[in-house]
């Protein structure tokens, strides 16, 4: 690592121009275990990248580096300055009402934008509700509004739908697709759900053994048809790259 990069707060410097995220040869170990072994990643403004990989492969570590929460051991990390993360859990402050959660840490003047963000995620009228009264899907939409109101150039999503039931998950995916199409942040979505990656992303990367084993351009129009033969083929390909054997058709008799 260069001394210059090491001197930056948590190693992240500002990316310029149309590239919102640029990572070169990123290395990160915990003790003797190398988690990221020379990652290269470029995400352009408005691009939606999904990051697949089995549990423990370093997906969260990579997001934390991009968020500036974790310092890399080596390599270059450049990101646009306005970054925000949505996690698997909504992480709401239970002693604050919904609107106060959305604008937490922002000046009072942000409350109008906070109300607009709540309306955008379908929660107009919930401003004064307490987090404990929300369903899991609603709480996660509050977390999305909290991200939205910060107008992120880089939106980092760490398995944001993983704790939701199947139907709520599909609705939340549609909402995120719509919000991203409208606001055009650069998105890095971590997921272990191949369907979700093919449904949402422009590009799907598979993280294996510390590097990207696959970089697949999805290239399907939106809204996406789950049964499009290309989508089916993408899912099959990604599952094979994840080391999951394809389910065979009815056995020959
Ligand atoms: N702060 C830490 N200290 C030690 N080991 C860690 C730390 N954070 C993550 N790890 C380890 O790094 C590996 C990758 O973790 P993580 O990035 O959370 O994986 P993923 O999100 O893909 O499941 C795991 O083996 C995990 O135990
Ligand atoms: Mg993780």
CATH topology of domain 3-82+152-241: Rossmann fold (3.40.50)
Beta strand pairing status for 186-191 and 154-158? parallel
Cα distances (angstroms) measured from residue 33 to each of 28, 79, 121, 124? 9, 26, 40, 47
Whether the model pTM is above 0.75? yes
pLDDT for position 7: 35
CA of 213 to the centre of ligand 1 (A): 19
pLDDT at 8: 41
Atom of ligand 1 lying closest to residue 159 CA: 21
Substitution candidate for ligand 1 out of 10, 29, 35, 66 with most atoms within 8 A of CB: 35
pLDDT for 144: 98
Instruction: Determine contact, residues 5/31, Cβ cutoff 8 Å.
Output: no
Query: What pLDDT does 248 receive?
Result: 58
**Cβ-Cβ contacts under 8 Å for 187 (sequence gap 6 or more):** 43, 47, 48, 49, 154, 155, 156, 157, 180, 201
Averages of pLDDT over each 10 residues, the chain, 253 residues: 38 67 98 96 97 94 97 97 97 98 97 98 98 98 98 98 96 97 97 96 96 95 94 97 72 54
Q: What is the pLDDT of residue 1?
A: 36
Any idea of the CA torsion for 70, 76, 81, 82, to the nearest 10 degrees?
Answer: -60
Nearest residue (by CA) to ligand 1, atom 1, is: 30
pLDDT at residue 244, rounded to an integer? 84
Report the residue among 60, 71, 87 best suited for mutation to probe ligand 1: largest number of ligand atoms under 8 A from its CB: 60
Q: How far apart are CA 121 and CA 175, in angstroms?
A: 7
Q: What is the dihedral of CA 171, 172, 178, 182, to 10 degrees?
A: 160
Helical H runs in the chain?
3-7, 59-67, 98-102, 111-120, 136-148, 166-183, 194-200, 229-241
The verdict on the CB of residue 101 being under 6 Å from ligand 1 is no
Distance (Å, whole) CA 60 – CA 52: 11
The dihedrals phi and psi of 250, each to the nearest 5 degrees, come to: -50, 135
């Amino acid at each position: 690592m260069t001394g210059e990069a090491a001197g930056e707060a948590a190693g992240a410097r500002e990316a310029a121009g149309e590239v919102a995220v640029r990572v070169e040869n990123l290395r990160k170990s915990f003790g003797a275990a190398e988690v990221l072994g020379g990652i290269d990643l470029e995400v352009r403004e408005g691009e939606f990248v999904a990051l697949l990989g089995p549990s423990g492969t370093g997906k969260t570590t990579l997001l934390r580096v991009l968020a500036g929460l974790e310092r890399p051991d080596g390599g270059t990390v450049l990101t646009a300055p306005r970054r925000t993360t949505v996690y698997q859990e909504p992480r709401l402050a239970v002693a604050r009402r919904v609107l106060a959660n959305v604008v937490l840490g922002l000046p009072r003047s942000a409350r109008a934008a906070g109300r607009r963000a709540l309306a955008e995620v379908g929660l107009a009228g919930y401003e004064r509700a307490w987090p404990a009264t929300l369903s899991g899907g609603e709480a996660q939409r509050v977390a999305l509004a909290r991200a939205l109101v910060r107008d992120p150039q880089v939106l980092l999503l760490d398995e944001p739908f993983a704790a939701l039931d199947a139907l709520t998950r599909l609705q939340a995916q549609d909402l995120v697709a719509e919000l991203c199409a409208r606001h055009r942040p650069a998105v890095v979505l971590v997921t272990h759900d191949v369907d979700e990656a093919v449904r949402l992303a422009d590009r799907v990367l598979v993280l294996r053994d510390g590097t990207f084993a696959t970089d697949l351009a999805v290239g399907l129009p939106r809204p996406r048809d789950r049964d499009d033969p290309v989508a089916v083929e993408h899912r099959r390909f990604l599952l094979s790259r994840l080391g999951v054997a394809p389910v065979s058709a009815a056995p020959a008799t």
